[in-house]
A and B are shown apart, each in its own frame.
Chain A
Amino acid sequence: MEYFLEIFLGGLTRGSIYALIALGYTMVYGIIQLINFAHGEIYMIGAFTALIVASVLTMLGLNTISILVLASIAAVIYASAYGFTVEKIAYKPLRHAPRLSALISAIGMSMFLSNYVLLAQTSDFLSFPNLIPELKFIEPYSHIIRSNEIAILVTTTAVMIVLTFIIKFTKMGKAMRATSQDREMAMLVGVDVNRVISVTFIIGSATAALGGVLIASHVGQINFYIGFIAGIKAFVAAVLGGIGSIPGAVLGSLILGWTESFATGYVSSDYEDVFAFIFLVLILIFKPSGILGRSESRAV
């Protein structure tokens, strides 16, 4: 039973990690129907910024809490700035182009950003400091769950709630929903679509940066290539949950995390990804637009 619990919690952590990246993915998708391949890169840049800022601050001799706060803020600001700029350069001109062209542009951006970090920084793995302080009272349970993992769980939940709130109850959220349903119609009723899309990218990138800080301190190392793999996994999770839906992204991520974790725990990690993908195919056969996705009949 303890083994089951451990695997369950392991899957929960992994799922929450995917969710932090998938949330931004699904928001961007929801609004412009674009598979934003560069989203993983934004996450990577967030992690790199946090590492750089944290190292500089450590050398200045600040305490852990202020380093954590300042590094996270820097990561969020820079990731948002990158998200905003990427949208302006690579996606905005393609708004009326065929959808696949925007996809290729996103792939090109992803290659550009990861190799830009490779050139400007390094190709080696860098060790990422553990920014989350160890909490004393969970020390006895540290073989099951650690403060770092708790931080990931809490942040994911909080981000999901905040995003749902923004989308459901604010004016901006209303504008986002309108834009996602029908961009032209939204424009007609006076929604500043360009601004809405920019804001969506900024929010999505900010969550990715938060993910970058937390995941990097959980894993303990980063390099320029982490974004691509994370992006693919988050994409799978977002689709599984029904792409475009915020709770769906979280649910899809958790299911993906659990599937992988239980496959490894009870079968073999050799076929971890195979199980995950077979599960995905099965769900999509029975629910072709994801678990919580609305069924739509739009062509490609």
Chain B
Amino acid sequence: MRKKHFKNLFLIILIFCLSGFFLFSCEKKEEATGPIKLGVAGAHSGDLASYGIPSINAAKLVVEEINAKGGVLGRKIELFIEDDACKPELATNTATKLISQQVHVVLGHICSGATKAALGIYKDSNIICMSPSATNPSLTQSGNYPNFFRTIASDDSQARLEVDFTLKELKVTKIAVLHDKGDYGKGLAEYVKQFLEESDKAEVVLYEGVTPNAVDYTAVVQKIKRSGAQAVIFGGYHPEASKIVMQMRKKNIDIPFISDDGVRDDTFIKVAGEYAEGVYATGPKDISTNPLAIAAVEAHKKVYGKDPGAFFLEAYSATLALLNAIEKAGSTDYEAVSKALRTELDGKIKFDERGDAIGVGFAMYQVQKSVYVEIK
């Protein structure tokens, strides 16, 4: 009895499937009027939300300003904000949602893993995607994603800076390299290790991944001490970094601690307090003296009543770059916009063939009196 039901069901479904396939044809309309749709995707919830929310604020501020001036090409700009929680599997849902809403360009995603998962979908739909924070080198260097741009430099240049600084400025010969086993942290640590080995000037005495979210890192800290390292380079985010630094300092290990832009966050200083003093971290070059940046930060303070968070300025410039490119290209056409992005935009920002912004780089910062100060 049951068997029969299922047989019937199978048949019906199969017929529908097949007929569906052959009837189906892909059609896509390009509207030249109506608002320009800008998708904003990234981590807006979950434990990495603090990296994604500033990009929403940035996009909102830019769009408000531009719309007040009459929009781009006489068309208003509309925002479509979608959360991916930094998870690859959710990022594909986010991307398809944005595509079904027929967005023209996308600002995002925030995390490299999620960006990789979503990019294929954008690529097939001819949508340009610009990230303010996805630093994984292969995103641009592999050449797989011609539709991808970013306003932040990639991890290998960050690792290069960390290694050069450690070797030339700190002049140490024994270095411990730690990471948090994550996509970002371990990728960075791999580069650091590779550059250190190539330089031949220093020895990597310890290379380990620490367990993220663990309650204490005493054992790792003791191991650092035993290895005789003269400096620690850490790849990862600030919660682990602050725990390691605090436990190192409490165990009277006063060697330099060098980390990345995941640590160059004010939360790190707030949490680690006095122990944060003297910690080095790389971060995007300080552009806070740039008039545009000052205006952006002021606008943020006015609207949201507090200082903007991580990657705010990168997201701000990415939004501007995308909208300027559309203006210059005269349409939202994929080819025209991507060409416009690769040519000079009124002296503001330009992208190379691979999609990296030209002139964007990293600088070394140190915590001095509870603020990050750029070291020249």
Asked if A and B are interacting partners, one says yes
Contact partner of B215 among A14, A225, A264, CB < 8 A? A14
Closest residue on chain B to residue A264 by CB atoms? B219
Residues A219 and B271 in contact, CB atoms below 8 Å apart: no
Q: With A125-B239, A221-B243 in contact, is A265–B219 under 8 Å at CB? A: yes
A125 to B246, CA, bound (A): 15
Which chain B residue shows the least CB distance to A6?
B222
Tell yes or no: A137 within 8 A of B by CB: no
Please, which residues of chain A bring their CB within 8 A of the CB of B208?
Answer: 264, 268-270
Bits for B195-227, please: 1 = Cβ < 8 Å to A, else 0. Answer: 000000000000011110111101110110010
B251 within 8 A of A: yes
Asked if B223 and A264 make an inter-chain contact with CB atoms under 8 angstroms apart, the answer reads: yes
Quote the shortest CB–CB distance from B83 to chain A (angstroms): 13
- Say which size band chain B's interface belongs to: 20 to 34
The residue from B47, B214, B250, B273 contacting A146, defined by CB atoms under 8 A apart = B250
- Chain A 234-276 interface mask (CB, 8 Å, partner B; 1/0): 0000000000000000000000000011101100111011000
B238 on the A face (CB < 8 A): yes
Nearest A residue to B238, CB-CB: A125
Count of chain A residues with Cβ under 8 Å from any Cβ of B?
39
In the assembly, what is the distance between CA of A204 and CA of B158, in Å? Answer: 47
- CB neighbours (8 Å) of B271 from chain A are 125-127, 220-221
* Contact indicator B222/A10 (Cβ below 8 Å): yes
Q: Which of chain A's residues have a CB closer than 8 A to the CB of B213?
A: 225-226, 229
Asked if residues B181 and A14 are in contact (CB atoms below 8 Å), the reply is no
User: Which residues of B have CB within 8 Å of A226?
Assistant: 213
> In whole Å, how far is A269's beta carbon from the nearest beta carbon of chain B?
5
Determine the residue in chain A with the shortest Cβ distance to B216.
Answer: A14
What residues of chain B lie closer than 8 Å to A262, measured between beta carbons? Answer: 219
Task: Report the Cα distance A3→B227, complex, angstroms.
Answer: 11
The answer to whether B371 has its CB under 8 Å from any CB of chain A is no
User: Contact: B251 with A143, CB < 8 Å?
Assistant: yes
Q: Which residues from 214 to 229 on chain A have a C-beta closer than 8 Å to any C-beta of chain B?
A: 215, 218-221, 223, 225-226, 229
Which residues of chain A have C-beta atoms less than 8 A from B242's C-beta?
125, 220-221
Q: Scoring A residues 256 to 300 as 1 if CB is less than 8 Å from chain B, else 0, what string do you get? A: 000011101100111011000000000000000000000000000
**Residues from chain B with Cβ under 8 Å of A220 in the complex:** 242-243, 246, 271-273
28 example contacts (A-B, Cβ-Cβ < 8 A) are as follows A3-B222, A7-B219, A10-B218, A10-B222, A13-B218, A14-B215, A14-B218, A17-B215, A18-B215, A123-B47, A125-B238, A125-B239, A127-B270, A220-B242, A220-B271, A221-B243, A221-B271, A225-B213, A229-B213, A229-B215, A261-B218, A264-B208, A264-B223, A265-B219, A268-B208, A269-B210, A269-B211, A270-B181
Q: Footprint of A on B, CB under 8 Å?
A: 47, 49-50, 181, 208-211, 213-216, 218-220, 222-223, 226, 238-239, 242-243, 246, 250-252, 267, 270-273
A contact residues vs B (CB 8 Å cutoff): 3, 6-7, 9-11, 13-14, 17-18, 123-127, 142-143, 146, 215, 218-221, 223, 225-226, 229-230, 233, 260-262, 264-265, 268-270, 272-273
